[in-house]
Structure 1
Amino acid sequence: MDDQYLKVVMGIIMNAGNAKGLAHEALEAAKLNDFEKANQLMIESNQSLTEAHNVQSDMLTKEAQGDHTEMNLYMVHAQDHLMTAITYQDLVKELIVLYKKDAK
């Protein structure tokens, strides 16, 4: 495995992990009715998720151009992190809406 491949895998894992962690912090802030903080944390979560997605998109673009990406357990793990972060972020958004309704 070369350094560039590892950079792609770690870029996805780290940014997706950060996105999920920030979304969780936002959920905790919403539980305390601190919706301003929750909103800021979700903005940061989105930025991290965008970074992870950009790494993935670059990889997909290269694949479409004929530069094949090796598939192994590292890449599967990275993709799992990304999809989990996306799903978790979607869930947290909905839960924040519910916490806001309950706070009124």
Structure 2
Amino acid sequence: MNPGSDLETQVMELIIHAGAARSDAMEALRAARNRQWPQAEALLAEASAAARLAHRIQTRLIGEDQGQGKIPVNLIMVHAQDHLMNAMLARELVDEIIALHRDIDALQRRENHDDTL
């Protein structure tokens, strides 16, 4: 197998998994906005799993490079790293925003309960 081809495959897999992680995180946020808590949690778990797969690929590539420039840095590699970092940030921010949605939901429920008394 052509070593460059294997690298290209790994980079594309990193992009695919990172993209899935970001997409799942955003879907989780939409579910939370609609108070679909179990679905939001399931999607967050899927986002985390996809991010872990992408991160493993990144870690493997870093190990293969050994800080010596053995792996060529090209536009697609930079694109892959960008996807991963965006996915990781999205996952963290979505987690916090979902917590805020839960707090808002609890306050609204408490307010509605107080209004019925």
What are the residue-to-residue correspondences of 1:1-104 with 2, within 5 Å?
2-64=4-66, 68-104=70-106
Residue 2 of structure 1: how far off its partner (Å)? 2.2
| Higher RCO, 1 vs 2 (CA within 8 Å, ≥6 residues apart) | 1
59-68 or 72-81, which moves further after superposition? 59-68
Kindly tell me the number of residue pairs found equivalent between the two proteins.
Answer: 104
Residue 61 of structure 1: how far off its partner (Å)? 1.0
Counterparts of 1:66 and 1:90, CA distance in 2: 31
Which one-letter code corresponds to 1:26 in the other structure? Answer: A
Q: CA RMSD in A?
A: 1.5
With the length of structure 1 as denominator, give the TM-score of the two structures.
Answer: 0.94
Identity of aligned residues (%): 34
Report which of the two structures shows the higher radius of gyration computed on alpha carbons.
2
Unaligned runs of 5+ in 2: 107-117
Counterparts of 1:37 and 1:91, CA distance in 2: 17
Counterparts of 2:11 and 2:20, CA distance in 1: 14
Which one-letter code corresponds to 1:33 in the other structure? Answer: R
Counterparts of 1:85 and 1:48, CA distance in 2: 9
Counterparts of 1:71 and 1:100, CA distance in 2: 42
Unaligned runs of 5+ in 1: none
Which one-letter code corresponds to 1:84 in the other structure? Answer: N
With the length of structure 2 as denominator, give the TM-score of the two structures.
Answer: 0.84
Which one-letter code corresponds to 2:49 in the other structure? Answer: Q
Which one-letter code corresponds to 1:97 in the other structure? Answer: A
Counterparts of 1:65 and 1:84, CA distance in 2: 23
CA deviations over 1:28-87 (Å, ceiling 9, x no partner): 000001111100100000000000000001111111286811101010000000001111
